[in-house]
Amino acid sequence: MFQDTQQTQQPQPQPQQPAEQTPQQQPAQAPAVVQPQVPPVKTTQEERIWAAIGYIAFLGLLTLAMMPKSEFCKKHAAHGLTIFCIWFIALFVVLILFWPFPAVIVSLLEGLLFLGSAGLGILGILKSIQSYEMNIPVLTPIAMKFPVNAIIGTITGKVTENPQEPQNPQKP
């Protein structure tokens, strides 16, 4: 009833491979090692530890107070504080929007929010210990707008200079 209208092709003879292959003959079969896109930043052990602490809930404020001059710590603390703020706001949004639903559904949603934020925090801790900067598509632009210099000034009582703004000293 059904006929194949395509002509069948004869298979090409394959060259025979030796039974035993040496390691020099197997580079194509070896698993590929994924190389990071961005090389690690040169940091000290202290900076890596404080950057990792910055991902634990609101302890990013402590990181900013202890390491105000380290750009590496500032970026990781901004990411940690952003993750914490987004989780905290989302927690209340879920409570407000889903209050008429059964408590089981609300608890499941809150649990998913917690697992997501905890996963991002663990990823950030691992990246900071390895001296890498975090680049998460939605989170990084929000974190870079976080006012870390203003927070440092509030915590330490010292006003930090913003390197992007030109300074024009006025003469009396």
What does the DSSP assignment read for 51-81?
HHHTTSTTTHHHHHHH-TT-HHHHHHHHHHH
> Is the per-residue pLDDT at 17 higher than 60?
no
Q: What is the pLDDT of residues 99-149, one digit of tens each?
A: 888 889 888 999 999 999 999 999 999 999 999 988 888 889 999 998 888
Confidence of residue 166 (pLDDT cuts 50, 70, 90): very low
Within 8 A by CB and 6+ apart from 2, the residues are none
Is the CA virtual torsion 79, 107, 89, 101 positive or negative?
A: positive
What are the C-alpha distances in Å from 149 to residues 55, 114, 138? 18, 28, 22
Cα three-residue angle 117-37-23, rounded to 5 degrees: 115
Percent of the chain with pLDDT over 70: 69
Residue 46: how many CB atoms within 10 A of its CB?
Answer: 12
The whole-angstrom separation of Cα 69 and Cα 91 is 33
This prediction has a pTM of 0.67
The pLDDT value recorded for residue 16 is 62
The pLDDT value recorded for residue 46 is 93
